[in-house]
Amino acid sequence: MSKISEIEAYILGREITSAQWASLMVLVKVTTSDGKVGWGETVSALRAEAVINFVKKINKVLKGSDVFNVEKNRLEWYKHDFNLTISLESTTALSAVDIASWDIIGKELGAPLYKLLGGKTRDKILVYANGWYQNCVTPEDFAEKAKEVIKKGYKALKFDPFGSNFTYITKRGLDLAEKRVRAVREAVGDDVDILIEHHGRFNVDSAIAIAKRLEKYNPLFMEEPVHPEDIEGLKKYRLNTGLKIALGERIINKNQALYFMKEGLVDYLQIDLYRIGGVTESKKVVSIAEAFDVLMAFHNAQGPILNAVTLHMDAYIPNFLIQESFYDWFPQWKKDLIYDGTPIENGYAIIPEKPGIGIDVNEKMIDELKVKGEEYFNPEEPVWVVKGTWKD
């Protein structure tokens, strides 16, 4: 029996003062009594140190547990942490441990994760590009960079055209957003999907005004069009636009996901493995979504470990739509950390075939990359913004 002997967590990055998007990552390492190692990853932005502390607490609870018993281990942590289902920090820490556990299980059994989950329903993963529009401000900026994305072979791309507008969008902000979207649509043509990111920051009337302006550009979906807690606003939005709604990255348990589906408020579900409870909980949500005819488009905006494990989920699920990918816009060290193990080819990600989550970690880089502190903070631009776009 492979018992958990140690769970460790590190904050990695090249430079803590860097303004580059996603300059840090939280890496979690699970080691077993017989020397097996599994890798997980979780949230960094504004919460890195808090999550590290939760990983330390989980280590105390799960040390000595059978790494194969992912359900039992989750319940053990649930028993000790009174606030698991309402705490992002607790859930994200557990998610990383769960992912690392599945990595070990796959290595122990000599099989890639997707085979343990149910095998393949597809041989490659259609992805959409994100992170490509750093420092884009003018419509022309967006158009030029969009052309570069399509030259790489991508069939879809997502972007946030709303600048610094927050809660309420001004007429000027609405006009500029439309110009940016029109510029991208004209640059990529009608055969490429465009996806509109709202970052959950608008009141419902602003979101509806945006929808009416942008529907002519045929977006595949509108992501988080209203503030995530504004359920009544989302219902009103649903009644006033025929555009597809994507959401879910801020959902931290399956019961929350179920509510949105029961209420008919989501077309494409974007849960994130690092927030929902890792592989163990995400596969349950996928099954619920299948029952409601909701397609999956996993959120995936962190680093290379989460990217790899998400591709395994995409490979096996029956209700797949498309996968978010920042991979080609990662800081180079994130690719180097996994020996560039999950490349994008002509708009598709290649499914890792090695045992576990299917990537090798360059452990020599970990000591070099260890940093202390939180992600770079800019009072003029929130950490969730693709850098240089918080302008009008």
* DSSP 8-state code for residue 352: P
Contacts of 46 (CB under 8 A, 6+ apart): 374, 375, 377, 383
Which of left, alpha, beta for 228 (phi over 0: left; psi -120 to 50: alpha)?
alpha
CA–CA distances in Å: residue 163 to residues 217, 245, 281, 376: 19, 21, 35, 20
| Contacts with 291 (C-beta within 8 Å, 6 or more apart), sequence order | none
Cα 274 to Cα 26, 27, 202, 257: the distances in Å are: 11, 11, 25, 15
Give the chain's radius of gyration (CA, Å): 20
Q: Which helix (H) or strand (E) holds 194?
A: strand 193-197
Which letter does DSSP use for residue 166 in this model? Answer: B
Cα angle 349-350-353, degrees, rounded to a multiple of 5: 145
Q: Which of 198, 227, 299, 312 is catalytic?
A: 299
Q: How far apart are CA 18 and CA 282, in angstroms?
A: 32
Q: For this structure, is 199 an active site residue?
A: yes
DSSP-derived pairing of the beta strands 124-129 and 323-325: parallel
Catalytic annotation present for 198: no
Q: Where do runs of H (alpha helix) occur along the chain?
A: 48-62, 70-80, 88-109, 113-117, 139-151, 171-188, 204-214, 231-240, 254-262, 273-276, 278-291, 304-316, 332-337, 364-369
Q: Which of 198, 199, 227, 312 is catalytic?
A: 199
- Return the active site residues: 199, 299
